[in-house]
Amino acid sequence: MKHWQARIGPAPAQEPSTVPHLDRRNALNLTAAALVAPSLSLADGPIRLRDLYDRNGGFSPLARDHKGQRVEIAGYMAPPLKANAWFFVLTKMPMAVCPFCETEAEWPEDILAVYTKRQVKPVPFNVKIKTRGILAFGALRDPETGFLSLIRLVDATYG
């Protein structure tokens, strides 16, 4: 069990796939698809934070379509809520102050909790990063910090 699973539960279940009989033709088709697929995903680029939400503050069709899938999302790391954290908050705009620690700070509209594979090493607030992880939904309160997230990346990396 991974550390984040012990804290927030297992990653969303993926539907089992069926594997067809592998003959020479299927092997060639799979090889060709594997060579083309990485270039297609790189051409699309990362998902933008604002594209996860609809105009009413709910989740967009794009977000719902990617639920349970590994995605890449770019943004800025908000200052961590505590030292040695296993998650951080990704924002669409750089934030010099922790928006969740100051009562006067403005709560960002487009945020995403990112639960990492390792302890978070803070990145300067004004450096754009890309995160990759499994997109998950549902209300979740972090037991250590009390932070409530409705949408998050789990099993994530960043850089």
Q: What is the pLDDT of residue 110?
A: 77
pLDDT of residue 84: 85
DSSP state of 79: P
CA distance 159 to 46: 13
Structural domains present in the chain:
46-158 (2.40.50.140)
pLDDT at 39: 33
Query: Which whole-number Å values give the CA distances from 23 to 26, 29, 33, in the listed order?
Result: 5, 10, 15
* Low-confidence residues in the chain, pLDDT < 50: 15-19, 27, 30-43, 104
pLDDT at 25: 57
pTM for the full predicted model: 0.69
Contacts of 128 (CB under 8 A, 6+ apart): 74, 75, 76
DSSP string covering 13-74: PPPP-------HHHHHHHHHHHHHHHHHHHHH-PEEGGGGB-TTSSB-HHHHHTTTSEEEEE
The DSSP letter of residue 7 is H
Q: Give the three-class secondary structure for 6.
A: helix
- Shortest CA distance to 69 belongs to which of 89, 52, 85, 92? 52
Which of 127, 130, 137 is CA-nearest to residue 45?
130
